[in-house]
Structure 1
Amino acid sequence: MPSERATDTTPFAAMDVLERASELEGVVHMEVGEPDFRPPEAAAEAAVAALQAGDDDYTTSRGTASLREAISDYYAETYGVDVSTERIVVTPGSSPALLLALLSTVDPGEEVVLTDPYYACYPNFVRQADGTITTVELDPADGYEPSVDAYEQVVDEDTAAMLLNSPANPTGAVTSGETISELVDLAEQTDTMVVSDEVYHGLAFDAEEHTVLEYTDDAFVLDGVSKRYGMTGWRLGWAVCPPAYVEAVNRISQNVLICAPPFVQAGAEAAIREGNDQLAEHREAYRERRDLLLEAAERWGFDVGYTPEGAYYLLLDVSDLGDAFDVADVFLEEAGVAMTPGPDFGDGASDYLRASFARSTEDVREAIERIDELLATTTT
């Protein structure tokens, strides 16, 4: 029989929808965060060159020295913070980095505080570490900005970690520097570890991003090349670790992950060093797509109640049409538009669908036209 841990692990609804949608013809895919932009040319060239040079052996579990230097330089140039390469552990995607952070921080039965809504996989990561989950409710009227007061009601000396995410999935909210600073202060007062998922950094178009590393060294920061550089399938991420946790994280990584592929590390290094010129153009495209969806949502009567400031997601309130899973089924089967049911992202998203506008502007326009036609047919 499967273990209790395995049994308690819930499916990832976005991937379930993707699997169903992939069996249909002509679907507009808004269910997953898959950027339509190609990776930087320098990344592909570097990866191919590494393969041709026979660079396909193990690296250290920490990652190549040159990649970690590129990551360190990224934090210095982007945020003005000094991150030693010794604190960086490279992983095959940012999801393993999150798992390493939780496994090295949370003992069985200890509490991890999440926001609600949250990224759908977060609770399952906490379960893998045998932790317990407490949530802090976010309000669309506040732009889904976390409330420090709400955190103060639940975070105490028994809290092992608080998991932050900005720009956020599924809301697209960007947490202000003031709020991050106050949450870091709360964490220090209660001896709580901050774990900050920053994989959507570089994709804020209406707000200023701040890394937790601007306010403390005693935190985990998770990032990668998937979202910023359109390199989802490359599976390359990293964890910046608190100094006291580096060796523990590296030991787990040595046993569980071994290392990220060296040619992928070469491509990631090139992306980080040479792929940032395209980001401004990408952010403008995401803003345009967001605005198209916001305008359409108002026409459809899907109360949004906020404006995403980053990432490429929007929560659409479909409660007037019925159950979110049922509405997602109708959109997929009758309109050929795939979106993810909101309940996967917590109770605070239970009446919503998550729409990703990572796809092309043409795809977003096509999805809007199809839903326009569907709703005109079903409401007349």
Structure 2
Amino acid sequence: MVSERATRTTPFAAMDVLERANRMDDVIHLEVGEPDFETPPAVTEAAVAALRAGETGYTSSKGKPELRNAISDYYDRRYGVDVAPERIVVTSGSSPALLLAFSALVDPGDEVVLTDPHYACYPNFVRQTGGRISTVPLSAEEGFRPRVEAFQRAVSDETEALLVNSPANPTGAVLDGPTLDELVGIADRADATVISDEVYHGLTYEGEDHTVLEYTDDAFVLDGFSKRFAMTGWRLGWMVAPPDYVGHVNRIAQNTLICAPNFVQSAGIAALGSGDDFLDEVRETYRERRDFLVDAVDEWDMSMGYTPGGAYYLLVDVSDLPGDAFDAADFFLEDAGVAMTPGPDFGANAAECLRVSYANSEEKLREASERIQRALERVEISAD
């Protein structure tokens, strides 16, 4: 008999749309967060050299010491934060790191507070560990930035974990330092633990990224190489665990993950040592694409109500179109050849939206905009 855990796991709509779009001809992909940049050559060369050197065996479950030292140096260099390498666990992407965090922290029935909208997979990770979900509503009018007062109302003595994501998927919203500091205080007063998903760090367009580790050592931090180094298929990430949880996390990793691929860890060392010039250029390119797409949405006579501050997504309100968000996604895929993700996957407050990824070339974005505009001319939009 199939487990209740398995039956309660919902599909990942973005991947469902991708699979469907891949069976079609001439589709522009704006549904997944897949950077169109090439992995930096030095990273690829390091992986090839590691393979040739025979780096194909197991490593420590925590990861190569050289990589954990490089990650520790990264926190010192970028944020001025001292993170001991012993607190770092290297994983095969940031998603396994999230599952490790919940496995170490959440018992059946424990409450986990998420924002709404949120990354589509978060609720399924909570369900895998038997947790129950409480949400903090976000609105486009406030740029989808969480209000501290809303977290104060949501977090209680029953809360075990508070999960934040900045820059955020699917909204692109960015948490500033003072807000993160206040959220840490809310968690501390409730004896809860902050889990901070920072995988889109480095892709903030105004202001600076702030890690929660600037404000506390008692938080789980998830990060990785996929987004800013265009290494999605390499599957390499890491976790920084609170000191009291390191041993517990490592035991779970030993039994479930064994270790991240040896030669890919060498590629990660090269990525962190490659400097920020590559990322500066990538960030500016994404900023230009964001600005183009925000203007394009206005030309479609559709609504956003905010400008994303980071990552490479935006939420577009499609409530004026016939049907629901799934119907809108089907319409744009079938009639315009443009793949976008239905918003209900990201929570109730994204239910009337489509998530649009601008991790594609400006040429493709312009063509997608023209296709969408032509398709919209063939439908009646509500005058509400």
Whole-Å separation in 2 of the counterparts to 1:301 and 1:107: 47
For residue 237 of structure 2, what is the amino acid of its counterpart? G
Displacement of 1:379: 4.6
1:378 paired residue number: 379
2:156 equivalent to 1:150:
no
How far apart are the structure 2 equivalents of 1:66 and 1:208?
A: 27
CA distance in 1 between partners of 2:273 and 2:241 (Å)? 22
1:1-380, aligned counterparts within 5 Å? 1-322=1-322, 323-379=324-380
Q: Distance in 2 between matches of 1:263 and 1:297?
A: 43
What percent of counterpart residues are identical? 64
**Native 8 Å contact 1:40 1:275 kept in 2:** no
Q: C-alpha separation between the residues in 1 aligned to 2:36 and 2:221? A: 26
> 1-side partners of 2:377 and 2:281: how far apart?
35
Superposition misfits of 4+ residues, deviation over 4 angstroms: none
Q: Distance in 2 between matches of 1:373 and 1:275?
A: 43
Using the size of structure 1 for normalisation, the TM-score is 0.99
Letter of the 1:134 partner, please give it: S
Letter in 2 for 1:216: T
Q: 1: distance between equivalents of 2:224 and 2:143?
A: 25
Per the alignment, in what secondary structure is the counterpart of residue 124 of structure 1?
helix
Q: Secondary structure at the match of 1:210?
A: coil
Asked whether the 8 Å contact 1:297–1:304 carries over to 2, the reply is: yes
Alpha carbons 2:318, 2:352 under 8 Å: kept: yes
Superposition deviation, residue 261 in structure 1: 0.3
Per-residue CA deviations over 1:17-55 (Å, capped at 9, x if unaligned) read 000000011110000000011111111000000001111
Q: In 1, distance between residues paired with 2:274 and 2:310?
A: 22
Q: Partners of 1:321 and 1:107 in 2: how far apart?
A: 42
1:211-233 per-position Cα deviation (integer Å, ceiling 9, x unaligned) = 00000000000000000100000
> Equivalents in 2 of 1:290, 1:93: separation in Å?
26
How far residue 133 of structure 1 moved from its aligned partner, in angstroms, is 0.2
Secondary structure of the 1:162 match is strand
Cα deviation, 1:193-240, whole Å, max 9, x if unaligned, reads: 000000000000123210000000000000000001000000000000
**Quick one: structure 1 residues 213 and 33, their matched pair in 2 at CA, closer, same or farther if it must change by over 3 Å?**
same
TM-superposed CA distance for 1:335, in Å, is 0.5
CA distance in 1, matches of 2:331, 2:224: 34
Q: Which segment is superposed worse, 111-120 or 367-376?
A: 367-376
What SS does the aligned partner of 2:378 have?
helix
Paired with 1:292 and 1:325, the residues of 2 have a C-alpha distance of 25
| Residues paired across the two proteins, number | 380
Q: TM-score, normalised by structure 2?
A: 0.98
Contact 1:174 1:207 in 2 (8 A): no
Which deviates more, 208-217 or 270-279?
270-279
Paired residues of 2:321 and 2:380 also in contact (CA < 8 A): no
Q: Distance in 1 between matches of 2:376 and 2:49?
A: 51
Match of 1:161, SS state, is strand
1:336 Cα shift? 0.5
**Offset of 1:276 from its aligned partner?**
2.6
Asked if 2 retains the 8 angstrom alpha-carbon contact of 1:55 and 1:262, the reply is yes
Shift of residue 377 of structure 1?
A: 3.0
